[in-house]
Chains A and B, each alone.
Chain A
Amino acid sequence: RKEVEQDPGPFNVPEGATVAFNCTYSNSASQSFFWYRQDCRKEPKLLMSVYSSGNEDGRFTAQLNRASQYISLLIRDSKLSDSATYLCVVNRGGGYQLIWGAGTKLIIKP
């Protein structure tokens, strides 16, 4: 079993819909959690950090469930420009080690 797991998709979603991704992690000592976005042939860019209390940035909401060891990303009112691969990242027990999920591909259709 991988330390960080994501559904690879692709998720094909009509424009304006709400879409949710989950990411599970196996190391209970993990302390920091992030969602990144990667466009085709580009570097990953930080979308948002994930806090224990949950956090929201415009149309994006991130949640952390420590008991079940997963984080989630919700995108509301999806736009064509949201089409990308979304990567879940977990910091292993503090320190510098970052464990990357393989990514979930999202395709928004007009």
Chain B
Amino acid sequence: DGGITQSPKYLFRKEGQNVTLSCEQNLNHDAMYWYRQDPGQGLRLIYYSQIVNDFQKGDIAEGYSVSREKKESFPLTVTSAQKNPTAFYLCASSMVNTEAFFGQGTRLTVV
């Protein structure tokens, strides 16, 4: 089945620790996105990538980093510089001028 796979589903981070969220797609989509969603709020764009080895900052990129070494993979690292990382993280992919498809999300909690 084609789709987007995010892992892990739940992640716990200690203060000062970097963590990496995985996102893989087998839809052969060019673009991939990372969003953050806080309770009761809308989606906020962290980073997006339209092509391998290239990515752009979204509205809330500070404290996050990404890479796009392969078309199907777009991992997100939440660094210790992100002071309030507890949120629901969603990865998506799309082709140009078309709808986006989402993974099931990762819930990150700081402990």
B41 at the interface (CB under 8 A from A): yes
B27 to chain A, nearest CB (A): 13
Q: Does A49 lie within 8 Å of B43, measured CB to CB? A: no
Q: Is the interface of A mostly helix, strand, loop or mixed?
A: loop
List of B residues within 8 angstroms of A96 by Cβ: 30-31, 48, 50, 94, 96-97
Q: Does B42 lie within 8 Å of A91, measured CB to CB? A: no
Interface size class of A (residues with CB under 8 A): 20 to 34
Bound-state CA distance A89–B45 (Å) is 13
Q: Which of B12-20, B77-85, B98-106 contacts A (4 or more CB under 8 A)?
A: B98-106
List of B residues within 8 angstroms of A45 by Cβ: 102
Residues of chain B from 22 to 52 with CB closer than 8 A to chain A in the complex? 30-31, 33, 35, 41-43, 45, 48, 50
Bound-state CA distance A12–B59 (Å) is 32
Give me the interface of A with B, judged by CB distance under 8 Å: 31-32, 34, 41-46, 49, 87, 89, 91, 94-98, 100-103
